[in-house]
Structure 1
Amino acid sequence: MNDSDVKLPNFLIVGIQKAGTTSVYNYLKQHPQVYLSPLKETNFLEKDWPQLIEQGHQFNPKKIATFEQYKNLFEGVTNEIAIGEISPNYLFHYKTSTELIKRYVPHAKLIAILRNPVERAISDYLMHVREAQSNRSLKEQIQYRADKSFVITKGKYYQPVKYYFEQFSQEQVSIFLYDDLRKDSQKFIQDIYKTIGVNPDFEPDTSRKSQVAQVPKNKAVNNLLVRKNPIRSLSASLLKPLLSEKKRQQVRSFLIGMNSKSKEEIDSFDEEKQLLLNLYRDDILKLQDLIDRDLSPWLTI
């Protein structure tokens, strides 16, 4: 296939994590005029991976680290009108991502979905707890690592959005709010259909939530089930002759589920919410003027 025959994205959903991008990915995939990368988060346009490889950096072999690998994700395009991918870290890594977007897909429509940053931070923190990746409490991160914690800094949207507007113009960049997705998922996704130029009257099945937020009842048990450790390795070796890999994963998922509770069952993070709001208030007010949307609900706890 010649480079001139290669179909590349004409739209990207660039952000942000914990703002419904998995659900949006599934709703977009249902539309017959949309082709989405089979890999939800390619992250190829996040950093200059080819340059990092030249410098000797090593990456997971499954990583999309070269332009050839990126192009291969879109080999299945036939007659779809909208071709895209969803990598919610593109907004966060805005300085490198904008340069790479201009290099590879300069005319792509760019869409950011933003969520109340206080809610987003708590959701992100709970995900890290669930995946046994967090050693500090959320309160500690707010008080001592507010400028270094990705959980917190990813909620500062004003500068990244402003930078995208400066690099691409406001006509090329569209801002959507997670609040609207929660309010009316059909209308929300149909507005995105309209933005990317496909039939907006198509009605996808939006009845099923892609991710149900849960957190561990017991962190020690969760760490045993999630992290690599001798007990987990021994259990896997004992079960291997008896169960297929798929069955072993189902057992593990069942045990994780048994040790989980929904977010609604845990404390409400009242103190953390107020601390986060204090951190985000100025950023929210500047963003509100920038995108010309009423964000006053984000300013109350």
Structure 2
Amino acid sequence: MPLPDFLTIGAPKSGTTALHAALSRHPGLYLSPVKEPKFFLSDGPPPTRGGPGDAQTYREHVWRREDYEALFTEAPTGVPRGESTPFYLYDRAAQLRIREVIPGAKLIAALRDPVERAHSNWTHLWSAGLEPIGDVVEACAEEESRIAAGWAPFWHYLSLGRYGEQLEHLFTLFPREQVLVFRYRDLVDRPVATLDRICRFLGVEPGVVTEVPRENVTAHPEPTRTHRALSRLLRTGAAVGRFLPPGISGALTDPLERRLQQRARARQPLTWEQRERLIGHFAEDVALLQRVTGEDFSDWLLPRERSGGLVGTRPDGQRQARNGRPQA
């Protein structure tokens, strides 16, 4: 059956889009043409309601088995097939479905500093006009009520970053030799070495993919009157759009989103005060992550000064920053 041999399973906002694009350049691998099919996130049709914009996202799910298999029918014989859905690590039910359908799959997990990940996640939705709260700490405080209301996982800013819990469950289902865990910063600071490590894990020749392509770098619109007005229109358009065909829905919201992001500044780093208020949500899980992996992640509980997107490597060996437009 044309099913994947490997999956990039997480975490969201941890370079999975860039990694998918990089691996798709390797002639010894086949990556699904739909980067994020989300097949294992449900047993049937996805929900139809949720937070702002969720209904449109649910329309993107490749949830029928025949449609999912069709993503891999063009793969050459003997070439490992893969896809990238960064919510599989977070979703315990998805982990169980993967084990049931493809128990021998190799799983790749990129982990990002959970505070930086939450901030990047919030900025993504804020820049798209979907997040109504203009402060990341305040938005995180709404997480439990949003989960109770059925908002999609991408709104779970804090929960998505509790990797210790997620990996602890994953390792009850899959042997550790089938799981590769690495830091997002490894992809940023040491792209070639990290790509080679991933290629060896997948059993293909290293040294073939030598750069990480452009990653999505989210703009950060100021909370002006114009921003508030456009955001309200976008959320209204998204709510109405779930009753319309996808093409018409996009025609309503896409121009508003482009207008919203015009002349927006780059994503702003967190202040230490903001970071300090969020770190406490992860301290216990970081300790669990260290026990589960045997690696040191204590730096995630310290102040952070640096920010920025993925860095590629030019043919001359020099490092080169890559920027791109916002995208989930």
**TM beyond 0.5:** yes
Within 2, Cα distance between the matches of 1:289 and 1:35? 34
Aligned to 1:64: 62
Q: Aligned-residue CA RMSD in angstroms?
A: 3.0
Residues 219 and 176 (structure 1 numbering): CA distance in 2 closer, same or farther, change over 3 Å? farther
Question: Corresponding residue for 1:89?
Answer: 87
Q: State the partner residue of 2:158.
A: 152
SS in 1 for 2:40: coil
Deviation at residue 196 of structure 1 after TM alignment: 0.8
Deviation at 1:213, TM superposition (A): 2.5
Q: How many Å apart are 1:61 and its aligned residue?
A: 5.5
Would the alpha carbon gap of residues 27 and 285 (structure 1) be closer, same or farther in structure 2, given more than 3 Å must change?
Answer: same
Deviation at 1:62, TM superposition (A): 4.7
Q: In the aligned structure 2, how far is the partner of 1:188 from the partner of 1:260?
A: 32
Residue 293 of structure 1, aligned match among 289, 292, 295: 295
CA distance in 2, matches of 1:173, 1:263: 32
CA positional deviation for 1:187: 1.1
Alignment of 1:24 with 2:19, yes or no, is yes
Whether 2:3 is the aligned partner of 1:8: answer yes
8 A Cα contact 2:3 2:69, kept in partner: yes
Cα deviation 1:186-219 (Å, max 9, x = unaligned): 111111111111111213333x432122111345
Give the number of equivalent residue pairs. 273
AA aligned opposite 2:158: I
- After TM superposition, the score normalised by the length of structure 2 is 0.75
Look up the SS of the partner of 2:41 in the other structure. Answer: coil
Unaligned 5+ residue runs, structure 1?
A: 1-5, 231-244
Larger radius of gyration: 1
Amino acid at match of 1:121: A
- Partner amino acid, structure 1, of 2:222: K
Partner residue, 1:195: 201
Q: Kindly tell me: are residues 154 and 138 of structure 1, through their superposed partners in 2, closer, same or farther at Cα, counting changes over 3 Å?
A: same
Deviations 1:18-53 (A, max 9, x none): 000011011001000110110011100112126989
Q: How far off its partner does 1:263 sit?
A: 1.7
Paired amino acid for 2:16? T
- Which amino acid is the alignment partner of residue 89 of structure 1? F
2:280 is matched with 278
* 72-81 or 275-284, which deviates more: 72-81
Answering whether residue 221 of structure 2 is matched by residue 216 of structure 1, we say: yes
- Are the aligned partners of 2:117 and 2:161 in contact in 1 as well (CA < 8 Å)? yes
Q: What is the CA–CA distance in structure 2 between the aligned matches of 1:144 and 1:42, rounded to whole Å?
A: 28
Deviation per CA, 1:69-123: give whole Å up to 9, x if none.
11111111113522100000001112x1122112221110011111110110111
Q: Amino acid of the residue matched to residue 26 of structure 1?
A: A
- For residues 218 and 47 of structure 1, the distance between their equivalents in structure 2, rounded to whole angstroms, comes to 36
Note if contact 2:234-2:256 (Cα within 8 Å) is conserved in structure 1. Answer: no
Same amino acid, percent of matched pairs: 27
Q: Give the direction of change, closer, same or farther, for the CA distance of 1:146–1:297 in structure 2 (3 Å limit).
A: farther
Unaligned ranges ≥5, structure 2: 49-54, 148-154, 238-249, 304-328
Distance across 2 between alignment mates of 1:80 and 1:133: 43
